[in-house]
Amino acid sequence: MKNLFFTLFLVAAISTQAQLKPVSYLDGNQKLEGQLAQPKKTLKNKAGVLVLPAWMGIETNAKNNATELAKLGYITFVADIYGVDKRPTNTKEAGQLAGYFKTNYLEYHKRIQLALDQLIKAGANPDKIAISGYCFGGTGALEAARSNFKVNGVVSFHGGLGRNASRIIEPINPKVLVLHGADDFFESDAEIKSFQDEMRTAKADWQMVYYADAVHAFTHKDAGNNKSSGVAYNEKADKRSWRAMLDFFDEIFGK
């Protein structure tokens, strides 16, 4: 109840006129363009959130979530992982691009770090940073934790949990929150167990929340409602997972 009152207070106190602004930056010769959501009035600690989008790149879901976080006072940046001239136009292209960065994870790490640099450049407190990611972006959020990016915590919404078994498991410093559809068959029981064992071995401060009747992409309103396809929107899981993320932010940032 206290968290609800606190959120209502923030909404009343902070202007809801948070708009996205494109921000250009580079990875060598590769042009990138992320989206910055700068709140009218930031939180006192100037906490920032880096949003890692799903495999289609910077799309409506990521931009909407960045805008909503900015309404609560968070300085928010949506990362461009692929590049301005590499926007996928269909799921086949998206799968190829996402697959490349999953395999070449050090390049994924670099693109995430470049986006983090832009978030801090925009005014976010470098000691008060979180990463949230969706699907492919959820995988990226976990990769940031595995590599001990200088962030307070990471949130993975229906993200891929797998890692190359040959990689050495290092201690994980950022806190980890995984929000997972209980009926998401794209993540096998074996992969889930392997991830949980990894978190234990890494001595991570981690949580994993399951949402009933939810499959992959349960936060995406444009995912349809055909649960049998493995991809579908679930309003209840969407709202509950959003609330879980905000509570997590309260914990890692302090109110």
What pLDDT digit, counting tens, does each position of 141-192 carry?
Answer: 999 999 999 999 999 999 999 998 889 999 999 999 999 999 999 999 999 9
Distance CA 88, CA 136 (A): 14
Domains for the chain: give ranges and CATH numbers: 32-253 (3.40.50.1820)
Which H or E element spans position 182?
A: none
At residue 5, does pLDDT exceed 70?
no
CA–CA distances in Å: residue 12 to residues 35, 66, 168, 176, 252: 25, 18, 47, 30, 23
199: three-class secondary structure by DSSP? helix
DSSP string, 109-157: HHHHHHHHHHHHHTT--TTSEEEEEETHHHHHHHHHHHTT-S-SEEEEE
> For residue 178, what are its two tokens?
């995984």
Distance CA 87, CA 96 (A): 11
At residue 4, does pLDDT exceed 80?
no
Q: What is the pLDDT of residue 3?
A: 54
Q: What is the pLDDT of residue 196?
A: 98
